[in-house]
């Protein structure tokens, strides 16, 4: 927009190139499956699957976002010992593989879980986790952390000066809400809800395990069935296209709601405690943080306790699996982060912005199964795919993770451009200086969080590895699955604990790196 012509070219070009690569990964693989299938059509039962998928994803997204608001607000305006550690810990459920997390949830909500044991002791009837509510509960468990973090960032992005101004004008909490918080939420909430909605669209194992029966059939399960048992590639491709269409509708809807708040530039000071000083506010904040911590951390703590004894008797395969998982995560994180920053920079420049942003969101709706199958069909004539397990896994993980990084850094990038873009151009800041002194320092916190998220997700992801892995490509989540598949539930719990610890350590390191010295 306001930059010199040459620079627009370079950044926009690289953005377009990345968007094109994403299109190939998402739609190109879909086309490969369709081409191989020859014809395509739906199964009569698919309509019910689509309805169920949309319903559970919508309820899960709404609940996650609504519940996240009080938690994020409490975390944003309270200072207490261990706050930073708690924020990191609350991110954990999002990083844990589904199979593992479901067992953790059952340790709390299952038939023999803590909750039902308590209820029965008190003489109350036991509750069952299985059914629509169970699916939603699990999805909220997975996605609440993401929603909290995205909204918390929104709060922290409101310049401290605005709160000071508000306080000097004698703003009551309701005034803060109206003038500062509500505009921020209007920008952040639709994006967060969209990400979670699309994530839940491709849910498979959670819905099936906790759904209680075939009523809880999701589109992704129908795809799995079409690919695995029916070998009906055409139907799998149609279902995958449906997922994209649903995602596209959601993106368009959410774009209509998004408004960029006009807070203007601040002096990069972090807001300190503001508002909510009354006893009632302190109490409600405490309750919000306490309940969220209990809900998010207890299942994982119980899981960890269970895995502890098996730590002393880990299968030998765990060490190479850790190494492989870390390599995949490292390369994947580097790839995704660079691509997402370039794409975000191109979007901020304004040319093709809508299209670029759309391409950046597309992988969220991708069916991992169809993507993997398509990639397999494309690569197979050229090379033995099982020898490329790790590169292929890395590439697919990087593609699937890009939307997260983009969503997390894009608001900050927009704000930097809006607040400082014209100033930077008017003083002729060179491209290098712009990145070095203006963009990257301000991007550090969201970038730390985003890279931590991608690295951990990549470590915990089973995704396509399961499609391609030979005995030489076993990663940690695959090892957990294999142990579980061979009666070795205790060893699986041990490896799951290793997996959680490794993911979490990597996430912590990167996230902490981003926030280090930034809270001052």
Partner 1 sequence: MKSPLFAAGFLALANLAAAETPVLNVLTYDSFAAEWGPGPAVEKAFEATCACDLRFVTAGDGAALLARIRLEGEASEADVVLGLDTNLTAAAAASGLFAPHGQTIANDLPVPFADPVFLPFDWGYFAFVYDKTKLATPPASFEALAAADIKILIQDPRASTPGLGLLMWVKAAYGDRSDEIWAGLADNIVTVTPGWSEAYGLFLEGEADMVLSYTTSPAYHLIAESDDSKAAAAFDEGHYLQIEVAGKLAASDQPALADAFLAFMGSEAFQAVIPETNWMYPAKTPSAGLPDGFKTLIVPAKSLLIPADQAEAMRAKGIEEWQTALAK
Residue 88 touching partner 1 (CB under 8 A):
no
Radius of gyration of the chain (CA): 23
Q: How big is the CA angle at 124 (ends 118 and 127), to the nearest 5 degrees? A: 75
Residue 110 touching partner 1 (CB under 8 A):
yes
Q: How far, in Å, CA of 132 to CA of 155, rounded?
A: 32
Neighbouring CB atoms inside 10 A of 81's CB total 7
Contact 139, 60 (CB under 8 A): yes
Please report, for residues 139, 226, 443, the alpha-carbon distance to residue 448 in angstroms, rounded to integers and kept in the order given: 24, 39, 8
Residue 231 touching partner 1 (CB under 8 A):
yes
Say what angle helices 318-349 and 476-484 make with each other, to 10 degrees. 130
Burial 43-60 (b: 16+ CB within 10 A, else e): eeebeebbebbbebbbbb
Among 29, 60, 225, 393, binds partner 1 (CB under 8 A): 225
Instruction: Name which of 175 and 386 has its Cβ closer to partner 1.
Output: 386
Among 122, 267, 313, 471, binds partner 1 (CB under 8 A): 471
Residue 373 touching partner 1 (CB under 8 A):
yes
Residue 512 touching partner 1 (CB under 8 A):
no
Among 94, 141, 155, 224, binds partner 1 (CB under 8 A): 224
Handedness of CA 318, 320, 322, 324 (dihedral sign): negative
Element (H, E) at 58: helix 46-77
Neighbouring CB atoms inside 10 A of 285's CB total 20
Among 139, 162, 324, 482, binds partner 1 (CB under 8 A): 482
Residue 137 touching partner 1 (CB under 8 A):
no
Residue 484 touching partner 1 (CB under 8 A):
yes
Among 62, 177, 314, 379, binds partner 1 (CB under 8 A): 379
Q: Which stretch binds partner 1 (CB under 8 A): 1-9, 243-251, 275-283, 371-379?
A: 371-379
Contact 135, 206 (CB under 8 A): yes
Q: How far is the CB of 456 from partner 1 (least distance, A)?
A: 23
Residue 299 touching partner 1 (CB under 8 A):
no
Q: How many residues bind partner 1 (CB under 8 A)?
A: 59
Instruction: Name which of 416 and 484 has its Cβ closer to partner 1.
Output: 484
Place of tokens 């895995």: 307
Q: How far, in Å, CA of 141 to CA of 103, rounded?
A: 13
Residue 126 touching partner 1 (CB under 8 A):
no
Q: Enter the DSSP assignment of 26.
A: I
Residue 38 touching partner 1 (CB under 8 A):
no
Outline where 258-379 has alpha helix (H): 279-307, 318-349, 353-361, 368-379
Residue 383 touching partner 1 (CB under 8 A):
yes
SS3 content of the chain, % helix, strand, coil (to 5): 80, 0, 20
Q: Which stretch binds partner 1 (CB under 8 A): 102-110, 243-251, 257-265, 511-519?
A: 102-110
Among 81, 169, 267, 384, binds partner 1 (CB under 8 A): 384
Q: How far is the CB of 109 from partner 1 (least distance, A)?
A: 10
Copy the structure tokens of residue 464. Answer: 């396509």
Residue 229 touching partner 1 (CB under 8 A):
yes
Instruction: Name which of 116 and 156 has its Cβ closer to partner 1.
Output: 116
Residue 96 touching partner 1 (CB under 8 A):
no
Q: How far is the CB of 391 from partner 1 (least distance, A)?
A: 8
Say what angle helices 389-426 and 440-460 make with each other, to 10 degrees. 170
Contact 376, 348 (CB under 8 A): no
Q: Which stretch binds partner 1 (CB under 8 A): 9-17, 79-87, 272-280, 379-387?
A: 379-387
Q: How far, in Å, CA of 473 to CA of 205, rounded?
A: 22
Q: How far is the CB of 117 from partner 1 (least distance, A)?
A: 10
Residue 51 touching partner 1 (CB under 8 A):
no
Among 23, 58, 119, 130, binds partner 1 (CB under 8 A): 130
Instruction: Name which of 12 and 116 has its Cβ closer to partner 1.
Output: 116
Please report, for residues 108, 136, 449, the alpha-carbon distance to residue 208 in angstroms, rounded to integers and kept in the order given: 19, 12, 30
Residue 215 touching partner 1 (CB under 8 A):
yes
Handedness of CA 495, 498, 502, 504 (dihedral sign): positive
Among 486, 505, 516, 519, binds partner 1 (CB under 8 A): 486
Among 88, 156, 203, 209, binds partner 1 (CB under 8 A): 209
Touching partner 1, residues 387-416 (CB under 8 A): 387-388
- The three-class DSSP label of residue 394 is helix
Instruction: Name which of 183 and 211 has its Cβ closer to partner 1.
Output: 211
Among 23, 58, 377, 518, binds partner 1 (CB under 8 A): 377
Residue 107 touching partner 1 (CB under 8 A):
yes
Among 10, 45, 252, 294, binds partner 1 (CB under 8 A): 45
Q: Which stretch binds partner 1 (CB under 8 A): 54-62, 189-197, 227-235, 291-299?
A: 227-235
Copy the structure tokens of residue 266. Answer: 């601040």
Residue 212 touching partner 1 (CB under 8 A):
yes
Residue 123 touching partner 1 (CB under 8 A):
no
216, HSE (Cβ side, Cα atoms, 13 Å): 21
Copy the structure tokens of residue 373. Answer: 């199958």
Please report, for residues 30, 232, 384, the alpha-carbon distance to residue 378 in angstroms, rounded to integers and kept in the order given: 10, 18, 11
Residues that bind partner 1 (CB under 8 A): 45, 99, 102-103, 106-107, 110-112, 128, 130, 204-205, 208-215, 217, 221, 224-225, 227-229, 231, 315-317, 373, 376-377, 379-384, 386-388, 466-467, 469-471, 478, 481-482, 484-489, 492
């Amino acid at each position: 927009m306001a930059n010199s012509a040459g620079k627009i070219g370079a950044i926009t070009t690289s953005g377009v190139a990345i968007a094109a690569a994403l299109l190939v990964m998402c739609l190109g693989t879909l086309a490969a499956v369709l081409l191989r299938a020859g014809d395509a059509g739906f199964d009569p039962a698919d309509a019910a699957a689509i309805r169920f998928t949309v319903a559970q994803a919508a309820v899960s997204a709404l609940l996650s976002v609504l519940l996240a608001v009080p938690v994020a607000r409490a975390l944003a305006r309270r200072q207490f010992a261990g706050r930073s550690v708690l924020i990191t810990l609350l991110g954990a459920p999002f990083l844990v593989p589904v199979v593992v997390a479901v067992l953790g949830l059952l340790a709390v909500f299952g038939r023999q879980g803590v909750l039902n044991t308590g209820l029965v002791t008190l003489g109350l009837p036991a509750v069952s986790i299985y059914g629509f509510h169970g699916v939603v509960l699990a999805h909220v468990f997975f996605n609440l952390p993401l929603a909290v973090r995205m909204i918390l960032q929104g709060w922290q992005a409101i310049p401290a000066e605005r709160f000071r101004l508000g306080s000097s004008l004698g703003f009551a909490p309701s005034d803060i809400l109206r003038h500062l918080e509500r505009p921020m939420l209007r920008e952040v909430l639709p994006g967060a809800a969209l990400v979670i909605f699309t994530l839940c669209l491709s849910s498979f194992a959670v819905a099936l395990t906790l759904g209680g029966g075939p009523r809880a059939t999701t589109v992704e399960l129908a795809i799995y069935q079409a690919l695995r048992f029916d070998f009906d590639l055409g139907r799998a491709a149609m279902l995958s296209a449906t997922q994209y269409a649903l995602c596209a509708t959601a993106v368009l809807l959410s774009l209509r709601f998004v408004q960029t708040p006009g807070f203007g530039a601040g002096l990069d000071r972090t807001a300190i405690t503001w508002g909510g000083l009354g006893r009632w506010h302190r109490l409600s904040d405490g309750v919000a943080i306490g309940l969220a911590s209990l809900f998010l951390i207890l299942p994982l703590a119980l899981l960890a306790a269970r895995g502890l004894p098996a730590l002393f008797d880990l299968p030998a395969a765990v060490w190479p699996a850790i190494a492989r998982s870390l390599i995949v995560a490292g390369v994947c994180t580097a790839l995704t982060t660079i691509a997402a920053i370039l794409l975000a920079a191109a979007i901020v420049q304004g040319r093709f912005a809508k299209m670029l942003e759309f391409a950046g969101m597309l992988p969220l709706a991708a069916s991992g199964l169809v993507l993997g199958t398509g990639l397999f069909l494309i690569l197979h004539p050229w090379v033995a795919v099982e020898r490329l397990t790790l590169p292929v896994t890395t590439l697919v993980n990087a593609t699937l993770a890009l939307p997260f990084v983009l969503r997390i850094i894009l608001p900050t990038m927009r704000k930097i451009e809006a607040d400082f873009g014209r100033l930077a151009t008017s003083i002729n800041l060179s491209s290098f200086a712009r990145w070095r002194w203006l963009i990257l320092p301000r991007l550090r916190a969201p970038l730390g969080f985003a890279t931590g998220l991608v690295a951990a997700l990549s470590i915990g992801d089973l995704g396509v590895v399961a499609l391609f892995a030979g005995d030489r490509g076993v990663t940690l989540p695959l090892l957990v699955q294999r142990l579980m598949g061979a009666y070795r539930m205790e060893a699986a719990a041990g490896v799951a604990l290793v997996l959680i610890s490794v993911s979490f350590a990597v996430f912590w390191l990167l996230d902490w790196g981003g926030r280090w010295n930034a809270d001052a």
